[in-house]
Structure 1
Amino acid sequence: MRPADQGGRERFLDAALSVLVDRGVPGLTVRGVAEAAGASTLSVYARFGGRAGLLDALYERTFDSLRELLEGLPPSTRDGLADLLHLALEYRRFARENPTRYALMFERPVPDFDPDPGLRSAVLRTTFTLFITRVQRVCPPGTDARSAAYQLWTAMHGLVGAELMMASRRPLPDWFIPPTDEANEAMYRDGVTAMMAGLGLRNH
């Protein structure tokens, strides 16, 4: 792809993300994205083939953001457990700062959008390989690092997903934890640490 074409593609993806954040799912149309990008609908069709292609590209772009975050983490240290907990906390930060992107990645905010299976496999494999590598460093002998990573991720995902859901609604006075960032982070940290211990992950 030529640099000019890549730049135009990025402009449309930035516009699509802005539309999704500002107007929600109803505004995520070819026309809505074209207007946000200051372009014609024909130019959107020319680059993406239509709404499905645009959504696939936007889906890929959101995973690229998470992959870039994982790639940008500090180098591994001798304390693999601390490194893994740091990764988990950065994952939570990503979800909290980008709830719309996070929903596009792991939920179905656009009911009629089902990402291309090949694309889903590719972005998940590329992104989570970085996560599995960190888990592998602290796995006991004979443990399947992929399975351990999946179980740990589901704990992370469940905790942050519940946090985002509660944050989107009026606080409940009798909820498990106070509606503060400090309380949610402490609960998340405790939950992730407990899962790591339960999986037998340890420094070697």
Structure 2
Amino acid sequence: MRPAEHGTRERYLDAALSVLLDRGVPGLTVRGVAEAAGASTISVYARFGGRAGLLDALYERTFDSLRELLEGLPPSSPDGVADLLHLALEYRRFARESPTRYALMFERPVPNFDPDPALRSAVLRTTFTLFIARVQRVSPPESDARAAAYQLWTAMHGLVGAELTMSSRTTLPDWFIPPTDEANEAMYRRGVTAMMTGLGLHNR
């Protein structure tokens, strides 16, 4: 891809992400993205082949955002457990910053949209390799760091997913957690820490 074409593609994807964040999934149409990019619908079709191709490209872009966040974390310190907890907290922040983006990555907010399997494998592999590497540093010798990373991620995903769901609905006075960011973060920390402890993750 030539630099000019890459720049144009990035402009459309920036516009698509902006539409997703501002208008949600219902606004994520070829026309909506074209308008946000200041272009014609024909130009969007020419580059992405239609809404499915545009969604695939946007799906890839959302995972790129998560990968860039993980790559931008501070270098590994002697306290690998603290590093891993920091990663988990940044993951929560990423999800909370844009629940719609997060839903596109891990849920099915767009009816009938099933990302290309090869694309899914590629983005998951490149993104979660960084996460697995952090888990590997604190895994017991001869343990399966990949399995431990999956179990830890499901705990992180479940905790933040429940938080996002509850925050999008009417507050319940008798829910497990007070409806504050501080209370939710404290519960998330405890849950993640408990899973790390249960998996035997510790500094060597």
Whether the TM-score (by the shorter chain) exceeds 0.5 is: yes
Contact 2:25 2:100 in 1 (8 A): no
Q: Which residue of 1 aligns with 2:42?
A: 42
Residues 93-150 of structure 1, C-alpha deviations (whole Å, 9 max, x = no match): 0001121111100001101110000000000000000000000011111210000000
Read off the aligned partner of 2:171 and give its amino acid letter.
P
Identity of aligned residues (%): 88
CA distance in 2: counterparts of 1:98 and 1:24, whole angstroms: 10
Partner residue, 1:67: 67
What residue is the counterpart of 2:91 in the other structure? 91
1:118 counterpart = 2:118: yes
The normalised TM-score by structure 2 is 0.98
- 2:55 is aligned with 1:55: yes
Task: Determine the structure 2 residue equivalent to 1:145.
Answer: 145
Q: Deviations over 1:34-63 (max 9, x none)?
A: 112111111001111111110000000000
Deviation at 1:21, TM superposition (A): 2.4
SS of the equivalent of 2:151 reads: helix
Matched, 1:197 2:197: yes
Aligned-residue RMSD, C-alpha: 0.9
Cα-to-partner distance string for 1:130-188 (whole Å, 9 max, x where unaligned): 00000001111121000000000000000000000011111100000101000000000
Q: Distance in 1 between matches of 2:165 and 2:130?
A: 27
Do the aligned partners of 2:21 and 2:98 also contact (CA within 8 Å) in 1?
Answer: no
Structure 2 residue identity aligned to 1:138: V
Give the ranges of 4+ consecutive aligned residues of structure 1 lying more than 4 Å apart after TM superposition: none
Structure-2 separation of matches of 1:186 and 1:165: 17
1:18 aligns with 2:18: yes
Residues 58-92 of structure 1 deviation map (CA, whole Å, 9 limit, x = unaligned): 00000000000000000001111000000000000
Q: Which residue of 2 is the match for residue 180 of structure 1?
A: 180
CA distance in 1, matches of 2:21, 2:136: 36
SS at match of 1:160: helix
Q: Distance in 2 between matches of 1:45 and 1:72?
A: 34
SS at match of 1:82: helix
Partner of residue 130, structure 1: 130
Q: How far 1:23 moved relative to its partner? A: 2.5
Question: How many residues get paired?
Answer: 204
Cα distance in 1 for residues equivalent to 2:181 and 2:27:
30
Look up the match of 2:76: 76
Equivalent residue for 1:30?
30
2:43 is matched by which residue type in structure 1?
Answer: S
Amino acid at match of 2:88: A
Aligned-pair CA distance for 1:7: 1.4
2:104 counterpart letter in structure 1: L
- How far 1:24 moved relative to its partner? 2.5
Give unpaired runs (5+ residues) of structure 1. Answer: none
Write the letter of the residue equivalent to 2:116. D
Cα separation, 2, equivalents of 1:25 and 1:137 = 38
Structure 1: how far apart are the matches of 2:62 and 2:171?
29
Counterparts of 1:52 and 1:31 in 2: how far apart (Å)?
13
